Amino acid sequence: MSVRSIIYAALAAMILTTGCSSSGPIRAKQVVTEDAYANAETRVRPLLENEPTISARALAARKERPVRVHSAVVLIDDGGTMREEAPPPFETRAALARALANRLKATLSHPGFDGRLTTRPIQLHVERLSDRDGWRPKLTDALTDVDARLTGTGGETALILLSRADRLDEDTVRLIERMQARRGHRLCVHLVTVGDASACFKLRRFDSCGSAVRDVDIATSETMAAHALRLFYGDPPDTDGDGIQDYRDRCPGTRPGTRINWEGCPFDQKALMHLLPDEIVREGRALPPPSRL
């Protein structure tokens, strides 16, 4: 086996064992390793404190998107490597995680454009790992408590974890898998990796809902609002099933099989023919009707 083949095999093994990936072709420098975690401070981008909040509720109301997930638990991991220094204005990665959680909360609670609450509010409970066990908190202990509180809840719930990939040990991954196995699609687990070069899919199972993003992927008001829409809101309704969503359907209630235009109204062949040059219309009328097979 050549040296190049050995290197490629080693990189493939590292990707599989970390469960992490990044968009685009994988390069050696994108593979998350111990060195990547140690040097991650160069990749952390600060949030703009004065950036105005974009209301996810207002965006959802524009397209009549219904609330799909009515409650969520946001768990901020502020132990271990999350206490390492981060670039200003954040002292640690845990502080950056708290800022992201606050922005998500503001994005979901901000009223509509006219100041009214146009959609049902989403219950968002934010807690920190250190609130349980001071200096040496464990992710598994906090998740066990969350699991117990979710047992009696109905409907869909989101668990949003802000942590780092190196903090997700085998015990943590197995615990979350058991939580999802009991609830199926009623529990969606979303991971936000803080200070990592790549998004990590350790908690993402193919038969369950969830997502994995980096802190920089949701750091702006626009990207945070888009993330909130994906996590908590459903698709715009299409009541008559014509393929045109209700918020832009000017002719609701069209019958099945009706040929429609982009506005959801019956297609007017005569109006279209009036827009064509006379020679094209005359030539089209002279053509025989298409044969039926």
Report the interhelical angle of 170-183 vs 139-150 (nearest 10°).
Answer: 10
Distance of CA 86 to the CA centre of its chain: 24
How sure is the predictor about 16, in pLDDT bands with cuts at 50, 70 and 90? very low
Q: What is the rounded distance in angstroms from the CA atom of residue 273 to the CA atom of residue 291?
A: 21
Token code pair at residue 219 = 């750091």
Question: How does 58-91 read in b/e, with b if 16+ C-beta sit within 10 Å?
Answer: bbbbeeebeebbbbbbbbbbbbbbbbbebeeebe
What pLDDT sits at residue 63?
86
Measured CA to CA in angstroms, residue 123 lies from 102, 109, 171 at distances of 14, 9, 28
Q: What is the rounded distance in angstroms from the CA atom of residue 55 to the CA atom of residue 219?
A: 15
**N-terminal to C-terminal alpha carbon distance within the chain:** 59
What pLDDT sits at residue 236?
87
Range name among 35-44, 93-102, 139-148, 234-243 with the lowest pLDDT average: 35-44
What average pLDDT score do residues 260-288 get?
64
What pLDDT sits at residue 39?
44
Per-residue pLDDT reduced to its tens digit, 113-168: 555 545 567 889 999 988 766 566 788 989 998 888 886 556 689 999 999 988 89
Look over the chain and give the mean of its residue pLDDT values, rounded to a whole number. Answer: 76
Range name among 76-90, 146-160, 177-191 with the lowest pLDDT average: 146-160
Domain boundaries, the chain: 14-232, 246-286
How sure is the predictor about 102, in pLDDT bands with cuts at 50, 70 and 90? very high
Asked if the model's pLDDT at residue 9 lies above 70, the reply is: no
What pLDDT sits at residue 98?
93
What pLDDT sits at residue 41?
43
Asked if the model's pLDDT at residue 176 lies above 60, the reply is: yes
User: Which CATH number does 14-232 carry?
Assistant: 3.40.50
**Of residues 276 and 130, which shows the higher confidence score?**
130
Sheet holding 187-193, edge to edge: 123-128, 71-76, 157-163, 187-193, 210-214
What average pLDDT score do residues 253-266 get?
83
Q: What is the rounded distance in angstroms from the CA atom of residue 24 to the CA atom of residue 199?
A: 12
What pLDDT sits at residue 27?
37
What pLDDT sits at residue 184?
79
For the chain, give the longest Cα–Cα distance.
Answer: 86
Highest mean pLDDT pick, 34-48, 68-82, 124-138, 199-213: 68-82
How sure is the predictor about 172, in pLDDT bands with cuts at 50, 70 and 90? very high
What pLDDT sits at residue 153?
56
Per-residue pLDDT reduced to its tens digit, 203-232: 876 667 889 999 989 988 999 999 999 999
Which residue shows structure tokens 């105005």? 52
What pLDDT sits at residue 15?
46
What pLDDT sits at residue 148?
87
Quote the pTM value. Answer: 0.72
What pLDDT sits at residue 52?
83
What average pLDDT score do residues 258-270 get?
79
